[in-house]
Amino acid sequence: MRAPMTGFCEAIGTWGAQAVFPNRARDEARLSVLDTFGCILAGWDERQVVAAKAAFEGHPSAMTCALTLGTAAHALDFDDYEVPGSTHPSAPILGALLGLMSEHPHRIDRLLDAYLAGYEAIVRLGERLSYSHYNAGWHSTGTLGAVGAAAGCARLLGASQAQFAHAIAISSSLASGLKTQFGSDAKALHAGFAARAGIEAALLARAGAEGNCGAFEGPYGFLEIHHGPTEPAIRSKAGQRLGLEEYSVLRKPWPSCAYTHRVIDAALRLSARVETGQRIEKITLKMPEPFFRVAGFITPTTSNEARFSATYCVVAALLDGEIGPDSFCEDMYLRDDITALLGKTDVETYHPGPDLQDMSPEHPDCVAICLSDGTEISETSWHVRGGAEAPLTRDDLSNKFITCGGTEATRDLILYGDGSAMLTLSTETPMPSLSLAQDTI
């Protein structure tokens, strides 16, 4: 006998199929589209993306396009993230939605609403799993990202409430991603896998396939298996206060793991305090052990490892006074002055206790340096730049988009395009492009 539709699947399906989103939320979603599409452009020629394009050349589909787009969005680790689920939400959600749009144009407003539905699914599931899911070794972008992508696709495709719920249920069996892959190409591919899974789940549900809509609850359910509570308190909360308004999208100023960002910020402030002629003799990083466990490549040997090296990011920030995409080229992390200073860098980790929350100011990061004249100076970072307390502005994101290879015309289309206009995506040119469908021009 088929299980009754209860719990998370039903809550998200009932709400997501009919939710009406305010313009302020759509405006915030536009910023996510702008930032993520810029990351796609910047990551388009990275090795993981080149491999994804080559692997499925001659077999184009919305799913293979989503795999490539999601991977590109996450390839440089320049894409946004959120705290409740510890995911990079926009890469899998928009990888999937833009993948669908590569086959059929959709209204801009429908794209934005679909994004908001996907984000809601991720943060509501994430707030129940909490940091224990990520801390146990799951890469939440691959797990929760697949569920969010399925919700976004179900909304974009106009799924009924039942179809929407079954899309979420099916996605629970497609969700995967392991943190042991960090530092390898597979890490970015997780976002692509999640984007592809979201399309597959939504299309299967719309075609009549059903999943167990109680798959998230009870013994052996998604929540229990993934280190969360067995009885979620989310069935009545979905949409009461929009997830995007309760949990900010955190957008990145630097293309590296978020757990390097607070120490980068501290190192940049220290760099400005070092006077000409002074040499750095010793560096000490102090940060929570679970955060360093993720960003713990002491001496990176690849660009992927460098993005997950708190020590490298601090040394590069101190020596160069800036961190950007070029900071992770091979000739940077193999520089003699970099490797010499890495040899003078120590890390002190501390255990924040059982109530650790992702990027919590209650568990700060600190960088201290000892100079050649014996002076010791330090900086502590409680908050992360790009977070809720110090968000990137619209101008910041516009400049980031142009730096990533975007055009002013595309930027304006994303930020100010008429919501009723039909938007389409093309990957036939050397770089992906967004444009109005011909019949709307």
pLDDT by residue (tens digit) across 8-61? Answer: 999 999 999 999 999 999 999 999 999 999 999 999 999 999 999 999 998 889
Residues 118 and 202 both lie in one domain? yes
Residues 61 and 194 both lie in one domain? yes
For residue 125, which phi and psi values (nearest 5 degrees)? Answer: -70, -40
Residues 145 and 47 both lie in one domain? yes
Q: DSSP letter for 138, please.
A: B
Are the beta carbons of 61 and 100 closer than 8 angstroms? Answer: no
Residues 359 and 407 both lie in one domain? no
pLDDT surpasses 50 at 441: no
> How many CA atoms does the CB half-sphere of 325 hold within 13 Å?
16
pLDDT surpasses 70 at 183: yes
Are the beta carbons of 365 and 285 closer than 8 angstroms? Answer: yes
Q: What is the mean pLDDT of residues 268-293?
A: 93
CATH number of the domain encompassing residue 124:
1.10.4100.10
Provide the domain limits for residue 280. Answer: 258-381
Q: Is residue 145 part of a domain?
A: yes
Residues 263 and 320 both lie in one domain? yes
Mean pLDDT score of the chain: 93
Q: Is residue 47 part of a domain?
A: yes
- Residue 15: name the closest of 211, 161, 233, 163 by CA: 161
Query: What is the predicted pLDDT for the residue at 5?
Result: 43
Tokens of 319: 């020596």
Distance CA 174, CA 182 (A): 20
- Residues 358-407: pLDDT tens digits? 888 999 999 999 999 999 999 999 999 998 899 999 999 999 999 999 99
Residues 82 and 171 both lie in one domain? yes
Query: What is the predicted pLDDT for the residue at 237?
Result: 63
Return the ∠ at Cα 386 (arms to 380 and 392), rounded to 5°.
Answer: 130
- Kindly report which listed range (90-104, 111-125, 201-215, 229-243) carries the lowest average pLDDT score: 229-243
Helix (H, G, I), strand (E, B) or coil at 366: strand
Last residue of a domain, one of 330, 358, 381: 381
Distance CA 203, CA 97 (A): 12
CATH number of the domain encompassing residue 293:
3.30.1330.120
Q: What is the mean pLDDT of residues 158-175?
A: 98
Q: Is residue 143 part of a domain?
A: yes
Query: What is the predicted pLDDT for the residue at 395?
Result: 97
The percentage of the chain sitting over the pLDDT mark of 70, rounded to a whole number, equals 95
pLDDT surpasses 70 at 63: yes
What are the angstrom distances between the C-alpha of 102 and each of 62, 106, 288, 426? Answer: 7, 10, 42, 6
Last residue of a domain, one of 358, 381, 404: 381
pTM summary value: 0.93
What total number of domains does the chain contain? Answer: 2
Residues 415 and 342 both lie in one domain? no
Query: What is the predicted pLDDT for the residue at 345?
Result: 97
* Count of C-beta atoms within a 10 Å radius of residue 171: 33
Q: Is residue 171 part of a domain?
A: yes
Query: What is the predicted pLDDT for the residue at 440?
Result: 45
Q: Is residue 2 part of a domain?
A: no
Residues 245 and 343 both lie in one domain? no
Last residue of a domain, one of 381, 397, 421: 381
Q: Which amino acid, one-letter code, is at 390?
A: A
- Residues 222-274: pLDDT tens digits? 999 998 765 555 554 666 789 999 999 999 999 999 999 999 999 999 999 99
Residues 16 and 110 both lie in one domain? yes
Partner residues linked to 345 by β-bridges: 283
Q: Is residue 354 part of a domain?
A: yes
Residues 332 and 244 both lie in one domain? no
Q: What is the mean pLDDT of residues 402-413?
A: 97
Q: Is residue 337 part of a domain?
A: yes
What are the angstrom distances between the C-alpha of 246 and each of 155, 355, 402? Answer: 21, 20, 29
Residues 25 and 154 both lie in one domain? yes
The percentage of the chain sitting over the pLDDT mark of 90, rounded to a whole number, equals 85
Q: Which helix (H) or strand (E) holds 90?
A: helix 90-101
pLDDT surpasses 60 at 178: yes
pLDDT-derived band at 428, boundaries 50, 70, 90? confident
Q: Is residue 1 part of a domain?
A: no
Residues 208 and 277 both lie in one domain? no
